[in-house]
Amino acid sequence: MEEEQILDALNAHWRASAVGDINAEHDIYADDAICDYPQSGERILGRSNLQALRSHHPGKPSGFHIKRMLGQGDLWITEYTITYQEQSAYTVSIMEFSNGKVVHETQYFADAFEAPAWRSQWVRQLP
């Protein structure tokens, strides 16, 4: 699959995710896709289980912002923030493609935290 086609599929996936279009969101996955959440130790087997899990989330996102997408060939990374119930999570999605579909995704979620004062002389605040 051409990288331009993968970018189009990723953009469609993230747009659908942002508005809660559960069907369009999962068009990107192979039927036997695997999705890992390392922080909770969970593995979701198959597109149908992933879609069912996400469709039962207690709330739709109230905010969704893609910071960047990087990739080449069959490996693509998206860095974004997603907000649920006024709580933002910084998220990284690593997607592996085969035959134009995601066959493996790993997602990492991180809460925001206040920067400690002791390191202020060496850093700048992100815009």
Q: Map out the domains of the chain as residue ranges.
A: 3-112
pLDDT tens, position by position, 14-29: 999 888 899 999 999 9
pLDDT tens, position by position, 84-119: 778 889 999 999 999 999 999 999 999 888 999 999
Distance from C-alpha of 40 to C-alpha of 70, rounded to nearest angstrom: 25
Please state which of the four CATH numbers 3.30.70.20, 3.10.450.50, 1.10.150.120, 2.40.240.10 is assigned to the domain occupying 3-112.
3.10.450.50
CA distances from 48 to 32, 86, 125 (A): 9, 28, 41
pTM of the shown model: 0.90
pLDDT of residue 112: 84
Listing from the earlier edge strand, what are the strands of the sheet with 87-98? 42-45, 29-37, 101-111, 87-98, 75-84, 63-72
